[in-house]
Amino acid sequence: MREVGPRDGLQMAGSIMRTEAKIRWIIDLVSAGIGEIEVGSFVSPKLVPQMADTGEIVAAARGLSGPRVSVLVPNLRSAQAAYEAGAQEIDIPVSVSEGHSRANVNKTPWEQVGEVRKIVEWSRAQTRPLHIRAGCATAFGCSIDGVIPAAQVLHVTTALLEAGVDDLVLADTVGYGHPALVTSLVRAVQNEAGPRLIGLHLHDTMGLGLANALAGLEQGIRCFDSALAGVGGCPFAPGASGNIVTEDLAACRVWVGC
């Protein structure tokens, strides 16, 4: 279970949570046993003011015992800032659909793959290891471009593997996925990526988030993003609702014996 509320949840908030409150939240998550937390994103504070204190949050989280501290970065400059702040993992969003990619990072998917390649090359030259995840946004559908063919997802994931990312996550950014689609797409990507496809980032727009998580679990996925109370969404994806609920995912984890 990977908590993304402090990033994905707060980026949609109408107000800005105080830094001290964010840190308290993260401390409580760690106390509850969460081992990996996406604590923020290094993005323009003009575009996402809720993330302006991410450097402070990373420093505080690194002072805790246990959690893997992750942040979202859209480009090389952000990755360098994350590294300097002490992040252990970066999550780079790469939209499969062109409409969402242009809205989210102002690049085509292939231009963003090129940015990922720059980040990988730069990070490998540093003295401290930096784990690099690529999150394939809108893999299960897009509220801008509509249905996303599986072949389109495979083109992007294959390019990301060739760029040298450590692992991949398929993201249902707008919550259009359903169990049959999750099963078929995970299988297709696993045929190319093998164990480097490690996780799913699921939203609950259609109320199928937990069912989709179970479908992924049945295909061998063992890493799931979730947010406390199901907060979240994407400011650049019309109609996207919150993430799957951490509390519910924890309960399901007990039921299925994971």
Cα 216 to Cα 39, 96, 119, 234: the distances in Å are: 24, 19, 29, 22
Q: Which residue is catalytic, options 136, 142, 234, 252?
A: 234
Long-range (24+ apart) CB contacts under 8 A made by 118-125 are: 118/76, 119/73, 119/75, 119/76, 119/79, 119/90, 119/92, 120/163, 120/164, 120/165, 121/164, 122/76, 122/79, 122/80, 123/79, 123/83, 124/164
Q: Note whether 143 and 104 are within 8 A (CB).
A: no
Number of CB atoms found within 10 A of residue 63's CB? 11
User: Is 258 annotated in the active site?
Assistant: no
User: Which positions are catalytic?
Assistant: 234
